[in-house]
Structure 1
């Protein structure tokens, strides 16, 4: 018997290693079909996490670099072009059974999706899961159709087109902003029942009834649905054209212009208080006014008309003084504003500065200057109205002058602008005053002179003009002289 040598030991060692490598190379893992932890996947921005549990055997067959991948089929359950929705970290899953969480893509929409599990080392694929409904609700809030107008009409033999508003009105989140979405239209059959009518973003209606549309999220419940629109057939060639105000009615003008919308047609003409509004020929009209607005809509073979009494919540108010006022330095002016504003707040200003003590509807002004009062409605529609007025020192129209002046300068500086004569000759003294130009033409003749000549622009040139006066008192005393008018 031969004694083992070093070479024979080395040979046996090599054979053992090769046997181990061969065993590893032939090792396989079997992965069971994934068990779903849900019946349907109705995902949204606020929730998109789902679990799948699977078994695999033997655990020892997994290489340290192995990764498990979850693949999702198309909406019909076909894995010809699967979507990878999750891949585990290398060597992170080593114990069976295993549970993996995943999220569905935002474009997911269908009733027959499936998933399967794949391993990378060794390579193996599970059988597919049971089918399940899956939708990602990328838009899940109410939206508007027909510009939120609740009615529509079509001519006999015609149709009325309903469409989803894009981008919608106000805060309306139009689903048309998301190209992956599809839609289903319904016709109401009762207070809580309806029948499916058609797919698509628009619907041509030729049957009377009430219609609405939902975003197609299949068996998943959602809040992505439209307002209802009642469609009728025009009777005797006429139909009702409902008008809707986007800010409501009454509306708050502080929110901006309100949009008046009517039913869809071929052409439009808007009116206010019975008068045509030039160039108002669109389905919508913007306004910040109150009044009776009406519209005529050409539907093709017939016409529709409607009206709305639009009311602004802007309150009524007034002030009891004119824009310009005069008073003497010893006097004061009592000013009052009246208003229908709810819980009004009053702020008074003098020359742009707030008068801290003035917070009521009335104020006693004792100084000369420019005044402003603001009225703010603090309940309901927040609105503000302002009034401004000026108080100037009162001019003495009949100052006590001793002599009849022979020079005036009507340049608007309030100094020597008019011909002011002694009080013995002015209004109330039965004195006749005549003023003539240098050609003898009478420019003023009165027995009620108010120290106010000249009242009109004399169109002065660079050359001074000379006028002549004759003053005749009640006892026939006469005064004559000249008046030089300088520029």
Structure 2
């Protein structure tokens, strides 16, 4: 009897253990098909968060270490090699229904992606979601083709190649810098309609029309599109060659040189204001000067010609003094800047040293030397202009000399360049001054002498020349003598 009871207890314990073990072995959940919180996933560096909601049952079957993973298929909806796009923390999701957020990989591009949900403990996989379009817009800015030239031409029977410009710059983020991207070319059929032509980074055009290209983001809208180019066929004669300015027209020279571009051809010659620009024989030409620019383009069996009136936005300005000025010691020269610059700033320099106290549009200069004023426009076209002027000490035309000199050296050194006589015989005294050569020919006769002889080249040779003077005062006093001219 005792033995039988003992065996029964052992058998009961074994059965209980098996039942408990079997319950854990058979624990599982069912995950419903994920619902999408979007109709298409169009991601970029500014936005890349999308959500999905799903149900699972029973909640009690989840292990404390369970993680839910959102997997994404390839562009054709195939899960042979799925991409995990989100995994929850262990035990973080315990209540059904659940919503998870995920982000697209930067290589995403296609119309038939799907997602599914997987759990880790217990392991389970949902059915696949509905298909959706998904693109990561790695480049989402306008870009240029044809160097931004708006027109192009090809000779009858030929073609014209449109190309996406590369490399990119601050003004042109070329999509060619992103190898994963593809491109669709279109031809306009109306003001707001177009027709797809073909895919690729270039397009060979043999029909007239207006063309453009867009980065292929499928059904997702984007800003990654090019400028329009109108292409014409030249049957005979000369076509119109458009010219584009990289900085626009008018352009701001404060941004540096602007690049003028024209349509592609076999050879080029640029002109400015009707004159040939030597060695300007490329498709592009850089300049920082206003003017009328033109280009002649050889297209093979025909040619093209274009022009542009390039205008600088640089402000106007001037100063009210001459390039060279003279004042006497202790005097001043009032200098005023006249300008239409927006919110101008002024810097004044004397002999290349900044005058820190001078910040207005006017300055009273009292020192002799070389001056410079820099005017800067601080809003709009940020640029500067400078104006220079010189102030010298004024020379007294009638210095008080004691004797009549008999030697003059007109060599331009500022010393003894002219015949300077005492103030008793100069202008205002009615004294008559006569100067003759050695043959008695009168070279100068005046009663208003200004201490300015000789005013012109006397044809001097290496031999010193002698001239003669006669000075007769108002009261008939006479002074005679010779003047030796030395080089």
- TM norm structure 1: 0.81
Query: What number of residue pairs does the alignment pair up?
Result: 468
3-state SS, counterpart of residue 176 of structure 1: helix
Corresponding position of 1:116: 116
3-state SS, counterpart of residue 385 of structure 2: strand
Corresponding position of 1:176: 176
How far 1:467 moved relative to its partner?
Answer: 9.1
Alpha carbons of structure 1 residues 15 and 144: separation in structure 2 relative to 1, 3 Å: same
How far 1:215 moved relative to its partner?
Answer: 1.5
Alpha carbons of structure 1 residues 149 and 430: separation in structure 2 relative to 1, 3 Å: same
Contact 1:155 1:237 in 2 (8 A): no
Contact 1:142 1:173 in 2 (8 A): yes
Corresponding position of 2:433: 430
Contact 2:268 2:282 in 1 (8 A): yes
Contact 1:170 1:246 in 2 (8 A): no
Corresponding position of 2:451: 450
Task: Determine the C-alpha separation between the residues in 2 that align with 1:122 and 1:171.
Answer: 54
Unaligned runs of 5+ in 2: 458-462
Corresponding position of 2:253: 253
Alpha carbons of structure 1 residues 205 and 403: separation in structure 2 relative to 1, 3 Å: same
Corresponding position of 1:442: none
Contact 2:346 2:359 in 1 (8 A): no
How far 1:406 moved relative to its partner?
Answer: 7.9
- 1:306 and 2:306 matched: yes
Task: Give runs of aligned pairs for residues 461-480 of structure 1, distance below 5 A.
Answer: 471-473=469-471, 477-479=479-481
Unaligned runs of 5+ in 1: 436-444, 457-464
Alpha carbons of structure 1 residues 188 and 466: separation in structure 2 relative to 1, 3 Å: closer
How far 1:109 moved relative to its partner?
Answer: 1.0
More displaced 10-residue stretch of structure 1: 330-339 or 242-251: 330-339
- 1:186 and 2:189 matched: no
Corresponding position of 1:229: 229
3-state SS, counterpart of residue 430 of structure 1: strand
Alpha carbons of structure 1 residues 58 and 154: separation in structure 2 relative to 1, 3 Å: same
Contact 1:405 1:419 in 2 (8 A): yes
Contact 2:242 2:307 in 1 (8 A): yes
Task: Determine the C-alpha separation between the residues in 1 that align with 2:84 and 2:92.
Answer: 18
Corresponding position of 1:440: none
Corresponding position of 2:355: 353
How far 1:272 moved relative to its partner?
Answer: 0.9
Task: Determine the C-alpha separation between the residues in 1 that align with 2:345 and 2:98.
Answer: 72
Alpha carbons of structure 1 residues 51 and 108: separation in structure 2 relative to 1, 3 Å: same
Alpha carbons of structure 1 residues 6 and 455: separation in structure 2 relative to 1, 3 Å: farther
Task: Determine the C-alpha separation between the residues in 2 that align with 1:390 and 1:412.
Answer: 18
- 1:51 and 2:51 matched: yes
RMSD, matched Cα: 4.0
Task: Determine the C-alpha separation between the residues in 1 that align with 2:451 and 2:432.
Answer: 11
How far 1:413 moved relative to its partner?
Answer: 8.9
How far 1:123 moved relative to its partner?
Answer: 2.7
Contact 1:143 1:174 in 2 (8 A): yes
How far 1:72 moved relative to its partner?
Answer: 0.9
- TM norm structure 2: 0.81
- 1:32 and 2:28 matched: no
More displaced 10-residue stretch of structure 1: 447-456 or 16-25: 447-456
Contact 1:347 1:354 in 2 (8 A): no
Alpha carbons of structure 1 residues 46 and 473: separation in structure 2 relative to 1, 3 Å: closer
How far 1:408 moved relative to its partner?
Answer: 9.3
What's the CA shift string for 1:336-373, capped at 9, x where partnerless? 6655x25685858473426659646xx77666554444
How far 1:76 moved relative to its partner?
Answer: 0.6
Corresponding position of 1:219: 219
- 1:42 and 2:45 matched: no
- 1:21 and 2:21 matched: yes
Contact 1:377 1:383 in 2 (8 A): yes
How far 1:43 moved relative to its partner?
Answer: 1.7
Contact 2:407 2:483 in 1 (8 A): no
How far 1:384 moved relative to its partner?
Answer: 3.7
How far 1:172 moved relative to its partner?
Answer: 2.7
3-state SS, counterpart of residue 296 of structure 1: strand
Alpha carbons of structure 1 residues 466 and 7: separation in structure 2 relative to 1, 3 Å: farther
Task: Determine the C-alpha separation between the residues in 1 that align with 2:364 and 2:67.
Answer: 87
- 1:326 and 2:326 matched: yes
Corresponding position of 1:138: 138
More displaced 10-residue stretch of structure 1: 372-381 or 393-402: 372-381
Corresponding position of 1:98: 98
